[in-house]
Structures are given as structure tokens and as C-alpha cells.
Amino acid sequence: MFPTFGPDTGGSAFDPTLATIALGIVPQNLNIGNTVGSGVDFNAGSGKCWATLQTGAWSGTAPTLDGKIQESTDNVTFTDVSGGGFTQITTANQSQTIAFTRSKRYLRANVTVGGTPMNSQAACTIAEANQ
């Protein structure tokens, strides 16, 4: 006998109100250098966070993408989150997810493009479980 699959009637499906999810870097073509996302208020959450950095099309000579998550108490002065760094990306169509614990209210993504990219598409999403 095989299990029966169908709609979740037990209430265990993901409820989007249980998480705060924000774009750390909106999907875009990035130029060489540094791109910093806007700070997002994660005050309602538990501190348990995750972030996903994705690349789309890439071309050029040895393009690289370094990404990290930063935090702030005042949404002005940001510092790097412990454990909030991504492994350097050097190829197209990649996705990395990291888990970390924030200690301050605001979070943002900070990415740096290196090499000689002609086209470097990327985006970053930051999320946190709500209390």
C-alpha cells in the first residue's frame, strides 16, 4: 500500500506569518565594486535567521561575488554578522543558503563583485523565524 497524498489537513503546512522575509539585494545586474542593500527591521523575530544569495547569468573574465549579512542597532552603523558570510561565487546560476543568529535589530546584505564581469546578475533574500 502506498501513502495517500493530498491537501494538508493537519495544519503542518508552512504559515508565512511565522517568518519575516525580505529582499536583502533586489534582483539586478551588479557592477564591479560594492552593492549594499537597505536595512530591514527584524525586531519581531526570534534571532534565528537564514539568507539565500543567488546568481543568474554571468559573463566576463574571472567574475567573483562575495556576499555577507550585516546587522545594526540603529539602521545606520552596520557590522558583519558572525557566521553571516557566503562562500565566494565564481560561476553563473548558483544558490547558497546560510543560517545565522542575529544579535541586533536591523539586517542588510552587502555584496562585492570582482574580476572583470560583463554581466553579473544576483539577488539576496534574508529571513527570520518570528517569535
> Consecutive 10-residue runs of the chain (131 residues): their mean pLDDT?
48 73 90 92 91 90 92 98 95 94 96 84 92 74
| Domain spans, the chain | 27-130
pTM reported for the whole predicted model: 0.85
User: Rounded to 5 degrees, what angle do the CA atoms 78, 109, 50 make?
Assistant: 110
φ, ψ for residue 16, nearest 5 deg: -65, -15
115's torsion region: left (phi>0), alpha (psi -120 to 50) or beta?
left
What one-character DSSP code corresponds to residue 7? -
| DSSP single-letter state for residue 78 | -
Confidence at residue 35, expressed as pLDDT on a 0 to 100 scale: 93
pLDDT at 2: 42
pLDDT of res. 4: 46
Domain 27-130 carries which CATH code? 2.60.120.1110
Residue holding cell 544558490? Answer: 95
